[in-house]
Structure 1
Amino acid sequence: MTGYENEGDRTEQMRAGFQQQGEPGLAADAERQVRQKRLLYTALGALLTVLGVVATIFRLTRGDDVGPWTGFYAAGTILAALGVLLARRASLRLAFVVIVVGGAVAGLGDSVSR
Structure 2
Amino acid sequence: MRRRRLLTAVAVAASLATAGCSDDSDDELLEPRARVVRSELVREHEGTDDESVAVEGLIERTSDEEITYLEVRVRFFDADDESLDTTIEQVPDVSEGDRWEFTVVFPEVGERAALVADHEAEVVRNP
Greater helix fraction, Structure 1 or Structure 2: 1
Q: TM-score range by the shorter chain?
A: under 0.3
Structure number with the bigger relative contact order (C-alpha 8 A, sep ≥ 6) is 2
Structure 2 length as normaliser, TM-score? 0.21
Structure with bigger gyration radius: 1
